[in-house]
Amino acid sequence: MSSFSLYLVGIIVLIAGLAYIAWLVHVPLQWIGAGVIVVFGLGILGAVKHTQRRDPPK
């Protein structure tokens, strides 16, 4: 499993946990949906940033 895939799995687990907690405290579903989209986007950006290959110095 690549590092990128591992990041995405971790982000999905994090999102699921946060969404469940928000649902338990009766946060409206549109806010949960918006939060899921934002956290998923930030997770993808973080995964790309941390797993990109560095160019060798010239």
**What is the value of pTM for the model shown?**
0.80
- Tokens standing for 19? 């969404």
| pLDDT category of residue 55 using cuts at 50, 70 and 90 | low
**Average of pLDDT values for 44-57?**
80
Question: What is the rounded CA–CA span in Å between residue 10 and residue 51?
Answer: 14
Question: What is the rounded CA–CA span in Å between residue 21 and residue 15?
Answer: 10
The predicted pLDDT at position 1 comes to 74
What digits encode the pLDDT tens for the residues 6-47?
989 999 999 999 999 999 999 999 999 999 999 999 999 998
54 vs 27 pLDDT, higher one: 27
